[in-house]
Every structure is written in C-alpha cells, then in structure tokens.
DNA sequence: ACCTGAACACCGTTCAAGT
DNA sequence: ACCTGAACACCGTTCAAGT
C-alpha cells in the first residue's frame, strides 16, 4: 500500500495529540514510532500545520462516522443520547487520553488557522448530531435543541477534562450521573 | 521592594500560562517581559517546575481570596452562585484567556508532580466553595452538594473551553444560560 | 542579594540533496 | 515517489563573573 506510511503517521499523531496536544506533537518521536526518519514525515505532510490539520480532520471524520453508525444501530434516539458520554469515556479508558477538540481548544492561540478550522468542525459535527437526536427524542423543540446540544457537548468535555486531571474514571462517571440528576442529560 | 522581580515574573507567567499553558512558558520571553535576562529567573525559581508550581499555587490562592470576598460581600448565597460564572467570563474578556486549571488539566501528562498538586488544589478550592454555597442556599443536601458542586465546576470549565475555541463571549453566555435552563445552575 | 554573558546539551523544523 | 543528512533556531540549565 502506497499510503501506509501516511496512515501510520496519522494514527500515531492522533494518539499523541490526544495526550500531549498539538504542541506535544513532534516529528522525531512520531518518525521513530512509524519506523522512518523525522525529515521523511515532511514528504507526507509539508509542515506541522499540515499534519495537525490532517489529524484534526481525520478525527472529526472518524467521530462523524461513529455517531452515524450509532444512530443506525439504535432505533431509539433516547438510547443514543444515553450512550453519547461513552465516547468520551473511551478516550479516558485508553491511557487517560482526551478529546482532541478539547486539547486543541485550550491551545487555540498557538494553532495554525487550518487546524483551528478542523477543530471547529469537530464541535459542529457533535452539536449537529446531538441537536438532531434531541429533536428526534422530542426532548427539545427545534429552536432550543441546538442550544441544549451545545450545553451537553461543553459539559461533557468539561467532565472529561476534570476526570483526566485526576486520572479518575469514577469521577467522570459521577459527573455524568450528576448531569443526569440535574436534568442536563436524559436519565 | 526586594520581591518585585519575583512578583513580576509570577504575574507575567500567570498571564502567559493562561493563554499558552505550562508548555508555552519559556524563560527567555518571560525575562524579556520583566526586563531581566533569562538566567536571572533561575535565581528566583531554580527550575521550570518550581516556577510552574509557584504560578499554579498563586493562582488558586488568588481565586480562594476572590471567592471568600464574594461571599463576604453578598449575604445571599444564591447571589454568589449566580455570580460564579462571571469569574470564568472575566478570563475570556481578558484576551480570550482561560482558567489555568483547565489548561493544565489538558497538559496533565506533561506536568511535574509539584505542579499537578497545585492544579488539584485549585479544583478542590472551587468545589469546596461551591459545595458550601449550595448547602447554604439550601439547593442541595449536604450529601449531594459536593457532587453538584463538581458538576457545576466541570460544566463551566467546559463552557469556557468551547467559547475560547471560537473566541466567542456570546457563546459562553449562551452556554451558561442553557445550564440554567436545564437546571444545572440556579436561575 | 541580585543579575548576567557565555556555553552546553538537547530537540523540533527545514531544505537541499540523495536514491 | 520516497527518504535523509546536516544545518538552523530554540530552550532549559549551569556557572563563573559582575555589581
């Protein structure tokens, strides 16, 4: 496969960025992981900005696909809403990693414009999906569903962030339970 | 004043860290801002870890003082709860900066232990204050108040993070309004 | 007490050059 | 097409020296 090096770089960069951010991405470590030299990465991604944008784009593409298949597998939109926090939980389960969007949101001031663009699209994809599911579950009118969707997305990102800072999965679960008890998420 | 250089370093480092994180701190830029040379910072802070820990400590000390004075100025605990999100709003107003705790929570894997310690204390201070105020406002039983306090802290951090990623203060306000509408925050 | 110049080891990034 | 060596810029740190 002619694109296997490129794919391997993308996969390794995604994993690293979820733990160390865009700033934590570095060509030498990445290259070592893939089995080539640091300078060779520039053949596939001319600059770090290009790599970052490609990683962020792939990240939201994968998420969009996962969300769509979740919707396809569950006829009940309420069930989808209940499972949504599991996506963010999985990142914590996998080496206390976090959502790439959240990390890059923090790094906003240091991000090339092309990367910022893809980061925004990740949020848009999640909010649009949540909004659609909220409407389908008749949990929010079509005018309010987007606002509620944004609130859910932001709150879950915050829960993941706090849980990560303690390396505490149980804290994440407790926060999601609190959101449900408070009425932000459906029980 | 014998400590003015030290204080100036702390203040500059705090501002930088709120926009670029611990990783974005560097002695040369910091020194230039303060008007001394990079090597001189080591007289006040032997290592970067020492500086980072001192900044994070000062950050939660300042926050603790602000929270206590808010409580002293407002006899009504409910009023305090309503004003709590303003603290996070002010950081966004000030050059789209964010809570140091949130940024360092993201950077968790790359933080020296002494810094992690202070980051945790910031969360503890906020949660303890929120818990106390929730109980005083009779909005949560003493068993549930800590859980609710954590949920509020995490959700507001998430709102700030999302708003920062768009440089959009109105989005922050909308998210807080959504939290109120959903019942997570008192209206 | 407080500060600095100079040097060190290290690392990410770039680019001209290799095959 | 794909990869690399070597140079470059930068950063945290040290230390002998300065005031």
pLDDT at A165: 97
The CATH number for B74's domain is 1.10.357.10
Backbone angles phi, psi at B184, to 5 degrees: -75, -40
Ramachandran area for residue B140 (φ above 0: left; ψ -120 to 50: alpha; else beta): beta
b (16+ CB within 10 A) / e for A99-121: bbbbbbbbbbbbbeebbbebbbb
Indicate the burial class of B74 (C-beta count within 10 angstroms; 0-12, 13-18, 19 or more): middle
Does residue B182 belong to the interface with chain A, where contact is any CB pair within 8 Å?
Answer: yes
Q: How far is A97 from chain B (nearest CA, A)?
A: 9
Q: Does any domain span residue A10?
A: no
Residue A106 domain boundaries: 52-182
- pLDDT band at residue B99 using 50, 70 and 90 as cut-offs: very high
Does residue B159 belong to the interface with chain A, where contact is any CB pair within 8 Å?
Answer: yes
Q: Does any domain span residue A59?
A: yes
DSSP state of B137: T
The closest CB to that of B108, out of A157, A164, A178, belongs to A164
Chain A partners of B102 at a C-beta cutoff of 8 Å? Answer: 106, 161
**pLDDT digit string (tens) for B103-119?**
999 999 999 999 999 99
Name the average pLDDT for chain B: 94
Interval B45-71 mean pLDDT: 96
Chain A 16-75 residues whose Cβ is under 7 Å from strand C: 25-29, 38-39, 42, 47-48
Would the CB atoms of A161 and B162 count as touching at under 8 Å?
no
Q: How many domains does chain A have?
A: 1
Q: Does any domain span residue A135?
A: yes
Q: Does any domain span residue B56?
A: yes
**pLDDT digit string (tens) for A132-165?**
999 998 877 777 899 999 999 999 999 999 999 9
Q: Does any domain span residue B94?
A: yes
Interval B64-83 mean pLDDT: 95
Q: How far apart are the first and last CA of chain A?
A: 47
Does residue A122 belong to the interface with chain B, where contact is any CB pair within 8 Å?
Answer: no
Chain D positions with any atom < 7 A from a protein CB? 1-6, 10-16
What is the spatial distance between Cα A178 and Cα A183, in angstroms, rounded to a whole number?
A: 8
């Amino acid at each position: 496969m002619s694109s296997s090096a490129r794919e391997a770089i993308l996969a390794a960069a995604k994993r690293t960025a979820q733990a160390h951010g865009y700033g934590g991405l570095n060509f030498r470590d990445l290259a070592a992981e893939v089995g080539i030299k640091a300078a060779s990465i520039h053949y596939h991604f001319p600059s770090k900005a290009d790599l970052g944008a490609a990683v962020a784009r792939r990240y939201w593409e994968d998420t969009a696909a996962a969300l769509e298949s979740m919707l396809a597998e569950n006829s009940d939109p309420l069930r989808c809403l209940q499972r949504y926090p599991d996506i963010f939980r999985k990142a914590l389960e996998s080496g206390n990693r976090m959502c790439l969007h959240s990390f890059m949101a923090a790094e906003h001031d240091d991000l090339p414009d092309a990367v910022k663009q893809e980061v925004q699209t990740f949020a848009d994809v999640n909010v649009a999906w949540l909004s659609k599911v909220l409407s389908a579950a008749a949990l929010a009118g079509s005018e309010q569903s987007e606002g509620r969707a944004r609130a859910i997305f932001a709150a879950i990102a915050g829960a993941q962030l706090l849980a990560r800072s303690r390396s505490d999965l149980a804290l994440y679960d407790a926060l999601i339970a609190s959101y449900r008890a408070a009425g932000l998420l459906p029980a």
